[in-house]
Amino acid sequence: MIKRKNTRDVIHYVIGAGKSIFVAEFYCQNIRGCMFSQTASQFTVKAEHLALLKNSTLFQEISDSELETICKVGVLEKFSQDSYIFHQDESANTISILVRGIVHLSQLTIKGQQVIMHYLSPGDEIGILALFPDQAYPVTAVSATDCLLLSWSNTTLAALINQFPRLALNALQMMTKRFVVLQNQYRQLATERAEQRIARTLLKIAHKSGKCDVQGIWLSPPPSRQQVAEMTGTTLYTVSRICSKWEKDGVIGTNRRWLHIKKYDMLKAISDDNHHLQ
């Protein structure tokens, strides 16, 4: 169940030189989700933020000193689990880097069916259409876990692009990558078996947020079978049938708290259509 509140307190932490500037804004509507509260003194700039920016397509080939300048005008936002970050068709006015947690991007079809489009993990960009004027979010962003985002308003980002022109080229490259991803998803839906798509989706999630040990790869929290069905363009029945068979054959294990990939190589072979479980 997604949490909704009629009122909320939004606590913004503007990253400054080794300290935080406290700005409190009070909204009457739930515009960007339900957030935790904390005092300004609790937050200090961390190296993880700069590291995430360096790995983001948007900030490639930006120097450390320039990244520090970009961080100083950023805003840290905390979202509790199952909160809306933004809604489909809202004005795109904020772009964020996911610092901590998992975010689902979903879209409603004309018939009212929810389809999960992307599964985001730390380092991924959220709300990239805010880079362009007069755009609306084509998806709804929901925090699947407690999340921390580093965000910039579209007006702040426009000023940064004027200051650092490299950001404009990076933005174009980022949009091109997203377009290629969508092309590949369309091809997979048109040409691949459901078993392949499901295996590839689990491996993609494992690559982004899985934890490895000697027993395999663990996904926690796990994607639900309904979510996997939405991400792969198939039905809940099909996902349940295939995953149950994989569990029986020892490829994966699941419960409500985690999904365990026990035989990575076998799942990879299924995604590549090089192996069929008998």
| Residue carrying the six token digits 């982004």 | 208
pLDDT of residue 10: 40
pLDDT of residue 46: 67
Q: For residue 18, name the pLDDT band (cuts at 50, 70, 90).
A: very low
Report the distance separating Cα 139 and Cα 212, nearest Å: 31
Better-scored residue on pLDDT, 42 or 68: 68
Structural contact between residues 195 and 269, judged by C-beta atoms closer than 8 angstroms: no
Written as six digits, the tokens of 247 are: 């569990």
DSSP state of 119: E
Which of 13-27, 128-142, 174-188, 218-232 is least confident? 13-27
Number of neighbours of residue 213 by Cβ within 10 angstroms: 8
CATH homologous superfamily of 8-187 equals: Jelly Rolls (2.60.120.10)
Q: Would you kindly state where each structural domain of the chain is located, as residue ranges?
A: 8-187, 192-271
CATH code for the structural domain at 192-271 = 1.10.10.10
Could you report the per-residue pLDDT of 140-192, keeping only the tens digit for each? Answer: 999 999 999 999 999 999 999 999 999 999 988 888 888 888 788 778 777 88
Could you report the per-residue pLDDT of 72-126, keeping only the tens digit for each? Answer: 888 999 999 999 999 999 999 999 999 999 999 998 878 777 788 888 988 899 9
| Residue carrying the six token digits 């755009």 | 135
Written as six digits, the tokens of 84 are: 């809306």
Spell out the SS3 assignment of the chain: CCECCCCEEEEEEEECCCCEEEEEEEECCCCCCCCCCCCHHHCCCCHHHHHHHHHCHHHCCCCHHHHHHHHHCCEEEEECCCEEEECCCCECCEEEEEEECCEEEEEECCCCCEEEEEEECCCCEECHHHHCCCCECCCEEEECCCEEEEEEEHHHHHHHHHHCCHHHHHHHHHHHHHHHHHHHHHHHHHHCCHHHHHHHHHHHHHHHHCEEECCEEEECCCCCHHHHHHHHCCCHHHHHHHHHHHHHCCCEEECCCCEEECCHHHHHHHHCCCCCCC
Q: Is the pLDDT of residue 19 over 60?
A: no
pLDDT of residue 227: 87
Average pLDDT score over the chain: 80
pLDDT of residue 45: 52
Q: Which of 182, 203, 188, 197 is nearest to 242 (CA)?
A: 197
| Residue carrying the six token digits 């799942």 | 267
Better-scored residue on pLDDT, 235 or 50: 235
Q: In a 3-state reduction of DSSP, which class is residue 204?
A: helix
pTM of this prediction?
0.73
Structural contact between residues 43 and 20, judged by C-beta atoms closer than 8 angstroms: yes
| CA 72 centroid distance within chain | 23
Q: For residue 135, name the pLDDT band (cuts at 50, 70, 90).
A: very high
Q: Is the pLDDT of residue 39 over 80?
A: no
Beta-bridge partner residues of 126: 96
Give the best-scoring range by mean pLDDT among 21-30, 81-90, 183-192, 212-221: 81-90
